[in-house]
Structure formats: structure tokens, C-alpha cells
């Protein structure tokens, strides 16, 4: 809230958290992660603008982009992917205007796991985990062999409908839990994350070019509260041993 409302807060934040670390390559600053409450959403864009102004003043706006990380459910009508549209344009519209004006991407957290968990009747495990199978979806001449592509392309479709097809998408989080819930096994996690790593180099059917993607998470978080799957998204255990084998 202070970053949105206090003009001095953003320069102080950049001075304390960015400028002292010239050896660190900051790529993005995410102002808010999956903020869903209306009061919080109202503060995101003002805070983004203030952080951007602080970066400009510090001479850092060329190398660091300001965005926000959104949950996938900011998009609705996602099946087929070409029907994707932003659920709340009053929230997303001004943010997209800002991103288009600065050349920053939209950061999206995309988790086929939760879609699979919520609809196992219609979503096959192979389709959700990049395992070659019989499930394909055809949409406007494009063929989808995995759920990740379909989800990402629904975001691109929503951007087009919002009049901002030039805004880039970066997948700020994606992953699959290795324990704690339905479909949460080391085998499925390895299949998903290895498939993701191998796949994103070629992008999606709608945009077949490199898709910048970040795996969640580095470590299993054994002290995290909530659903048991939330403890088990890591590549490594808390003792730094590998949770499963994977190749980058």
C-alpha cells in the first residue's frame, strides 16, 4: 500500500533493494503475486507506476521491467483456447495499457496441475503432463497435445481481445507437486517439469517461439501451511538433496 500511496516509498525501496546489488541481474520486478482481493488490486497499478518512475530516476528502467504476476484464472472461457478473455477488464485493462507503454511482459502463473486436479473426468493425466497420448484438441486449425499450450494460448487470445496483442507473456511460475495430493507423485512431477523444460524452447501452437518460463519451486517447503501439495513443488528437498532427477 505504501508503494502505491507514498511518493517517497518507491525510490526508497529501489535504493534499498536494487541499487546496492549491481552484480545481480534483475530482470523483472513483480508488484504483487496473485492478488485477488479488490482492495489489493486497486493498489497494484499505482505501485507499478511508482516503481517504474523510481527505476527511471535511478537510470535502471532500460534493464528492469515492472509487471505483476497473475493467477491463470484472470482469464475465463479458456476452452477452446481461442475463446480466452480476461474476466475483469476493469482490473486488467489499465495494467495492460501500462505494460504496453513500457514494453514489459505480463507475468502469468500457469499450473496445469490444478486444472487436472479439479477436472479429472475431462482432463487426462497424459495431456496435463506432456506425456504423448491420444488426447488432442483442435482449435482454429491449431492442434494441442498438452494442456500447458492450451492454457498459455488462451492468455494470448485474451490479450488480442483486449486490444493488446503485442504484450509479451512470461510464465512466472509453473510446476507439479511430487506428493500430498491426487496425481502428486515424483514420476508425474518429473514428466511435467522435464516436459516443460524441453517444450518451451519451441513455444506454443499460436506463438511458436521461445517462451520464457520459470519453474516453481527450487525447494520443497516443509514448513509451509495450507494444502499438503504446497509443501512439495520443489526440485530439491530442504536438506538440498534432489527431490527427483531432472535435466536442464
pLDDT tens string 9-60: 999 999 999 999 999 999 999 999 999 999 999 999 999 999 999 999 999 9
User: What nine digits make up the cell of 20?
Assistant: 546496492
- The C-alpha torsion from 168 through 33 and 195 to 27, rounded to 10°, is 50
pLDDT of residue 1: 84
Q: What is the pTM of this model?
A: 0.97
**34 in catalytic set:** yes
Please compute the mean of the pLDDT values over residues 165-194 and round it to a whole number.
Answer: 98
Q: pLDDT-based confidence at 6, cuts 50/70/90?
A: very high
Mean pLDDT over all residues of the chain? Answer: 97
**173 in catalytic set:** yes
Please compute the mean of the pLDDT values over residues 73-94 and round it to a whole number.
Answer: 98
pLDDT of residue 101: 98
Query: Which residue among the candidates 34, 97, 212, 230 is catalytic per the annotation?
Result: 34
Apex CA 94: angle with CA 36 and CA 52, to 5°?
Answer: 90
Pairing of strands 28-33, 142-144: unpaired
Contact indicator for 189, 176 with CB cutoff of 8 Å: yes
pLDDT of residue 15: 98
Kindly report, residue by residue over 41-52, the tens digit of the pLDDT. 999 999 999 999
pLDDT of residue 134: 82
pLDDT of residue 76: 98
End-to-end CA distance of the chain: 38
b/e code 206-224 from CB counts within 10 Å (16+ = b)? beeeebebbbbbeebeeee
Q: Where are the domains of the chain?
A: 1-16+38-66, 73-247
Residues 91-96: contacts with CB under 8 Å, at least 24 apart:
91/41, 92/162, 93/162, 94/45, 95/44, 95/45, 95/48, 95/68, 96/159, 96/162, 96/164, 96/167
**Nearest-CA neighbor of 215 among 244, 243, 194, 239?**
194
Domain 73-247: assigned CATH number = 3.20.20.80
pLDDT of residue 103: 98
Which of residues 10 and 1 earns the better pLDDT score?
10
> Is residue 135 scored above 90 in pLDDT?
no
Helix axis angle for 38-57 and 9-17, nearest 10°, is: 70
Pairing of strands 169-174, 106-109: parallel
Amino acid at each position: 500500500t505504501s508503494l502505491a500511496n507514498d511518493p517517497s516509498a518507491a525510490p526508497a525501496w529501489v535504493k534499498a533493494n536494487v541499487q546496492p546489488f549491481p552484480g545481480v541481474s534483475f530482470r523483472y520486478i513483480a508488484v504483487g503475486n496473485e492478488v485477488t482481493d479488490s482492495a489489493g488490486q486497486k493498489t497494484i497499478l499505482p505501485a507499478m507506476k511508482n516503481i517504474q518512475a523510481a527505476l527511471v530516476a535511478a537510470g535502471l528502467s532500460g534493464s528492469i521491467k515492472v509487471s505483476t504476476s497473475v493467477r491463470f484464472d484472470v482469464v475465463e472461457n479458456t476452452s477452446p483456447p481461442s475463446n480466452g478473455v480476461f474476466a475483469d477488464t476493469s482490473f486488467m485493462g489499465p495494467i495492460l495499457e501500462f505494460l504496453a507503454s513500457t514494453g514489459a511482459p505480463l507475468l502469468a502463473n500457469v499450473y496445469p496441475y490444478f486444472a487436472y486436479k479439479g477436472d479429472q473426468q475431462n482432463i487426462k493425466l497424459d495431456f496435463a503432463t506432456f506425456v504423448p497420448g491420444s488426447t488432442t484438441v483442435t482449435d482454429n486449425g491449431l492442434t494441442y497435445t498438452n494442456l500447458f499450450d492450451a492454457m498459455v494460448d488462451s492468455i494470448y487470445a485474451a490479450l488480442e481481445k483486449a486490444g493488446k496483442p503485442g504484450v509479451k507473456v512470461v510464465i512466472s511460475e509453473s510446476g507439479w507437486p511430487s506428493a500430498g495430493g491426487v496425481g502428486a507423485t515424483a514420476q508425474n512431477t518429473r514428466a511435467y517439469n522435464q516436459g516443460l523444460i524441453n517444450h518451451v524452447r519451441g513455444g506454443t501452437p499460436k506463438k511458436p517461439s521461445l517462451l520464457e518460463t520459470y519453474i516453481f519451486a527450487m525447494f520443497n517447503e516443509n514448513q509451509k501451511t495450507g494444502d499438503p501439495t504446497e509443501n512439495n513443488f520443489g526440485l530439491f528437498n530442504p536438506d538440498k538433496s534432489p527431490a527427483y532427477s531432472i535435466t536442464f
